[in-house]
Structure 1
């Protein structure tokens, strides 16, 4: 029987066209990082060095876990409640309208959308659970049509916050599920409540307390982090690999909690480990336990929207047919075993094929980190699943 280490070595060998390189890590509830390995190369270029085990990655949507923690810290302090409307802190969200097609099912002729006032208020829970109605403009044809009507380009990957995510809503807040910039707004809420830019807030209340030295929204302020960045690669249509540019601007205009962070596997594992701890540093234990609870009502439109979304498969390699999925606070929540992800886990990922999970019941968390495009790359997903199954075996919990 082929061992995982043999699979990993074969998958990351130079010239295989499987993956150029990745960094893998797993931690238990005592903070012991019992698995840590860097495999393969920094890029697909023939003279590329081995991937740096301390290399830094554009986290993309893995940033959302940290943005969620920042907002929940404000709940712990009593600065805001989960089910409180956020418009007193973020007035930009007070009057967003709902966008609807003029002719349902027909986006090809004449005026394609209409706008109407929303009747419900957006709460912090809505932002954290993607039930606010805020979606990414590049993900939805109605929002693309809205951008076109304003003679604007899509701004999802622009590094802007207010301009990018103050878009019309796809439904009344709380009435559905759609992936978007809600956690970017939640991070902005934490910044405004504490009168600090989000970078400074996170350095003071998240990165500093956990001694994270390789995590930032602002590469220009941290040359070491920028120098350690792992190169990005892309799979061409013929299956071969080629160098690629990062999709996020190096110097973004705003600190975007939904996708703007850079970090190393060592730093990120300290965050996952803190969520496992019986005495967490960043949040109260009660709040951490609340993160691992399903937030969407069974049988609701929100659950159906989540099950129908293709994004969670790209982010987690979980198939929709596995079922038993919901949303927690910080990531997808598994109500039963789903492939390599065990019941009771929070799990999510990042666009360049990063995946993380945390399971408090079994005291286990793991991270698969790469910089590989496109999102949901099948070869990357297969290797990430092999890794997760492996660490369950190593931990004696398979």
Structure 2
């Protein structure tokens, strides 16, 4: 758990090891490498916004020519047995839609029609190639709903194609990690091919539902050996990620212009709209990163969930941008007061009661101490 101010100075830090069932578990070190899972999405969001800043694309430009794999995809409206019903799509999809999860693209495990489609098709071992894995129909018109899904995986493809088919890893090294002052070894995809990173990884554990104990897991989930997914694939250290968070609250950010960061913190969903209702239908995907927030205080920015209202129970102020990842990592940024926070463990399932309780306790403790210092 770590918090920094706009100068990048550490203002709160705690480190603890697993309550592991293995007595031989090694002490946790601060240079441990963690799997980001969906916390990768913030890095990809910054990369796509950099492309917008450089004039390679406009935020509301249609993406069909850049992503022809999706150009003819229709809207899936029903699945009955092996029969699929589709409707012609009328709206173009844009970078804004990808960054705000309003594209109409989802994950099969989070949408019933996509889940039925995958089951009917026998998609038990999806392709590791991003464009194949996420070649799927839309489930609503772009801009007319909200659904957490593969939008940022496609955003990563956009970044690659706008930059001469560069790999995401190479793009991030030159345009993200070096810009915030990092040096090798840099955050990586597929860390099995990077021994200096692989040796420092924090192993994954699974919290059982029976008695809440942790069981060691041998697998390093989401480590794609064939492709680089902008929605889930990165691994890094705490210092690596916190450097990005600190830059976004800096008075002189290096990654994006202040006006672009303003856009990241601008609500993209119409208040009290069906889109907001759809956000709340998937509260399980973000409850751990938001805290116990009221329905009228939630929106989405360009890069994360936007908690527009305060969360009094944990002392969290309004206008806090936040998200996390399946291995139970959480990040948040509040530009109004110039602080950002990072929490990381490596366990499944995401948002289990123990982790959620700990994240909320951390935030409550931090905000109380932060305000006490004036």
Q: Which TM-score tier does this pair reach, normalised by the shorter chain? A: over 0.9
> What is the alpha-carbon distance in structure 2 between the residues aligned to residue 159 and residue 230 of structure 1?
23
> What is the alpha-carbon distance in structure 2 between the residues aligned to residue 114 and residue 322 of structure 1?
33
> What is the alpha-carbon distance in structure 2 between the residues aligned to residue 325 and residue 154 of structure 1?
35
> What is the alpha-carbon distance in structure 1 between the residues aligned to residue 51 and residue 86 of structure 2?
33
Partner of 1:226: 198
Question: How far 1:111 moved relative to its partner?
Answer: 4.7
- What does the per-residue CA deviation read over 1:113-132, in whole Å, with 9 as the maximum and x for residues that have no partner? 41222111110001111111
Tell me how many residue pairs correspond in the alignment. 367
Partner of 2:332: 357
> What is the alpha-carbon distance in structure 1 between the residues aligned to residue 141 and residue 220 of structure 2?
31
Q: 1:270–1:279: structure 2 CA closer, same or farther, 3 Å change rule?
A: same
Which aligned pairs between 1:144-159 and structure 2 lie closer than 5 A? 144-153=115-124, 155=126, 159=128
Q: Does 2:56 align with 1:79?
A: yes
Q: 1:290–1:270: structure 2 CA closer, same or farther, 3 Å change rule?
A: same
The gaps in structure 1 that reach 5 residues or longer are 1-23, 103-108
Question: Alignment partner for residue 89 of structure 2, among 81, 99, 118?
Answer: 118
Question: How far 1:306 moved relative to its partner?
Answer: 0.6
Q: 1:135–1:307: structure 2 CA closer, same or farther, 3 Å change rule?
A: same
Question: Alignment partner for residue 215 of structure 1, among 166, 187, 203?
Answer: 187
Name the Cα RMSD after superposition.
2.0
Taking structure 1 as the reference length, the TM-score comes to 0.87
Question: How far 1:52 moved relative to its partner?
Answer: 1.5
Question: How far 1:83 moved relative to its partner?
Answer: 0.8
Residue 38 of structure 1: SS of its match in structure 2?
coil
Partner of 1:202: 172
Q: 1:197–1:313: structure 2 CA closer, same or farther, 3 Å change rule?
A: closer
The gaps in structure 2 that reach 5 residues or longer are none
Question: How far 1:250 moved relative to its partner?
Answer: 3.1
Question: Alignment partner for residue 281 of structure 1, among 250, 254, 264?
Answer: 254
CA contact (8 A) 1:42 1:52 kept: no
Partner of 1:177: 146
Question: How far 1:352 moved relative to its partner?
Answer: 1.5
Question: How far 1:278 moved relative to its partner?
Answer: 1.2
Taking structure 2 as the reference length, the TM-score comes to 0.92
